[in-house]
Amino acid sequence: MAHDGSNGTKLYTDLTQGKRHRCNECHSDNVLNAPGKDGLPALSQAIHGFHSSRMGMSKLANQCYNCHPGEVTKCNRGVMAANGITCADSKCHGSMENVSQTILNGRRPWLDEPDCGACHGADYAVNIGMLYRSSYLVNGPDDMNGEIKCISCHNSAHSEWPSTLPLDNVIPVQLYGRPDFIRKCSACHEGTGKLHGAGR
């Protein structure tokens, strides 16, 4: 009803008549390959931009947890979170306003996301034009390149090893007896030496 009041739609009337609209009929949404309607803001741009000035209504310290999981789930719980880095860090997603404004400036929601290399440097960057979750080690010993995903050794984004949630750390604990990322060659085969930057 609030949406209809300010945007001239009739989502609520239609709902009472049995037609429930998907937001992405009108607002584009790359994660579901929905093109939306020309001239309307992408769903991510609309939702973050519109609510950015309304976050004062919430008491949560992490504003993002008003909609993303959450105070209990603790979506952001990896080694960066353990070191005090928040979702809103300028080298990560930035503020609500920033998530929206960057889309207006050309960022493709869901496809262009923060890069580990922004803080850790070029040897530790994700693959060009790829998300972290799809990227592979490409600067290691030759025959390893393109074979092993970043997440195999560092775990998923937001729960990067060593994670603050013990359940996330089961694999490294089984391997090493303590929470860590996969840092020893012996986790997979014999050998010693460097991984990142070794192949240059």
Assigned token pair, 36: 């939306």
CB of 87 to ligand HEC, least distance (A): 4
Judged by CB under 6 A, the residue of 76, 93, 168, 179 near ligand HEC is 93
Rounded distance between C-alpha atoms, residue 72 and residue 40, angstroms: 34
CB of 52 to ligand HEC, least distance (A): 8
User: Per CB under 6 A, which region of 69-77, 89-97, 166-174 contacts ligand HEC?
Assistant: 89-97
Q: Which of residues 115-144 bind ligand HEC (CB under 6 A)?
A: 116, 118-120, 124, 126-127, 132, 135, 137, 141, 143-144
Question: Which of 7, 13, 53, 73 touches ligand HEC by CB under 6 A?
Answer: 7
CB-based contacts of 73, cutoff 8 Å, min separation 6: none
User: Under a CB-based contact definition with an 8 Å cutoff, are residues 136 and 150 in contact?
Assistant: yes
Q: Is 68 in the site for ligand HEC (CB under 6 A)?
A: yes
12 counts as binding ligand HEC under rule CB under 6 A: no
* Residue 168 binds ligand HEC (CB under 6 A): no
Residue 14: CB partners within 8 Å, gap ≥ 6?
A: 20, 21
> Which residue is listed with tokens 């290399």?
117
In the set 75, 95, 173, 176, which binds ligand HEC (CB under 6 A)? Answer: 95
**Is residue 183 a contact point for ligand HEC (CB under 6 A)?**
yes
Q: Is residue 19 part of the contact set for ligand HEC (CB under 6 A)?
A: no
Whole-angstrom distance, CA of residue 123 vs CA of residue 88: 24
**Backbone torsions φ then ψ of 28, nearest 5 degrees:** -60, 150
- If one asks whether residue 152 binds ligand HEC (CB under 6 A), the answer comes out as yes
What distance in Å separates the CA atoms of residue 37 and residue 27, rounded to the nearest whole number? Answer: 6
Nearer to ligand HEC, 71 or 183 (CB): 183
Q: Closer to ligand HEC by CB, 77 or 91: give it.
A: 91
Q: How far is Cα 84 from Cα 61, in angstroms, rounded to an integer?
A: 13
Query: Do residues 198 and 141 make contact, with C-beta atoms less than 8 angstroms apart?
Result: yes
